[in-house]
Amino acid sequence: MPEHSRQALSDYAVAHTTKPDSIFDDIARDAQTTPSAGMMSGRTVGYFLNTLVAITGAQRVLEIGTFVGYSALMMATALPEDGELITLDVSEEFTSIARKHWARHPDGHKIKLILGPATETLDTLEPQFDVVFIDADKDNYPEYYEKSLNLLSPKGIIVVDNVFQGGRVLQQDVPDDQRSASTRAVQRLNEIVQNDERVNNVMITERDGLLLIRRRDAHLA
């Protein structure tokens, strides 16, 4: 599909997805003040996650990669009143924007932020999580996947963002030293999951690619 058609369809998808509260526009506006505005998930991925949390009846959610708090708040609004969302990030600067907006939203109290390298924080968390959203530094994706699977509830779902890497995952025959470390790590993750007999997975072509993963033995739980 030509790139302009893909962009047009993406805009069409946004235009046909429920418009969130104005606070999400405020978060998106603040994201633009950072040098990394493109990292924010946005309306379609946000509502996709929100719907997933709602239909699974999730009680506990884990997010790896907070940024300015858009996806965290999207998921938190679908949690029950006593639900909990733990989100991990290394950046005080980005997450101070997130905390400012969560503080003025009625569901913000469900969100707990833990600052520090996620590979280390993940080792300190109590299982189990019903939904895990992996959306931090790509180099660590294979490790995030393995640790998330260990923290997942039997019927839980892992969602991994950016599994297309802007299309660079298609660079299969390019020598290692000509592909970025992030591209190689995401390609490796995609292969690990595809060959992992513990799970079933489905890749979705929305935006920069989402990978949904659930335990194969979930029906026994």
Ligand X SMILES: C[S@@+](CC[C@H](N)C(=O)[O-])C[C@H]1O[C@@H](n2cnc3c(N)ncnc32)[C@H](O)[C@@H]1O
119 vs 218, beta carbon nearer ligand X? 119
164 binds ligand X per the rule CB under 6 A:
no
Q: In terms of residues, how long is the chain?
A: 221
Q: How do beta strands 84-89 and 152-161 pair?
A: unpaired
Q: Which of 27, 16, 132 minimizes the C-alpha distance to 73?
A: 27
Measured CA to CA in angstroms, residue 76 lies from 15, 68, 84 at distances of: 23, 14, 8
How far apart are CB 136 and ligand X at their closest, in Å?
4
117 binds ligand X per the rule CB under 6 A:
yes
Cβ neighbours around 178 below 10 Å, total: 8
How far apart are CB 85 and ligand X at their closest, in Å?
11
53 binds ligand X per the rule CB under 6 A:
no
Answer for which of 65, 108, 156, 209 binds ligand X (CB under 6 A) is 65
Residue whose CB is nearest to ligand X in the complex, by number: 41
How far apart are CB 195 and ligand X at their closest, in Å?
25
How far apart are CB 217 and ligand X at their closest, in Å?
28
3-state secondary structure of 85: strand
Binding region for ligand X (CB under 6 A) out of 14-22, 83-91, 99-107, 181-189: 83-91
DSSP letters, 150-201, are: HHEEEEEEEEEE-TTGGGGGG--SS-GGGS-HHHHHHHHHHHHHHT-TTEEE
91 binds ligand X per the rule CB under 6 A:
yes
Backbone angles phi, psi at 47, to 5 degrees: -70, -30
212 binds ligand X per the rule CB under 6 A:
no
How far apart are CB 115 and ligand X at their closest, in Å?
8
The count of chain residues that interact with ligand X, using the rule CB under 6 A, is 18
Residues of the shown chain interacting with ligand X in the complex, contacts defined by CB under 6 A: 39-41, 65-67, 70-71, 88-91, 94, 117-118, 135-137
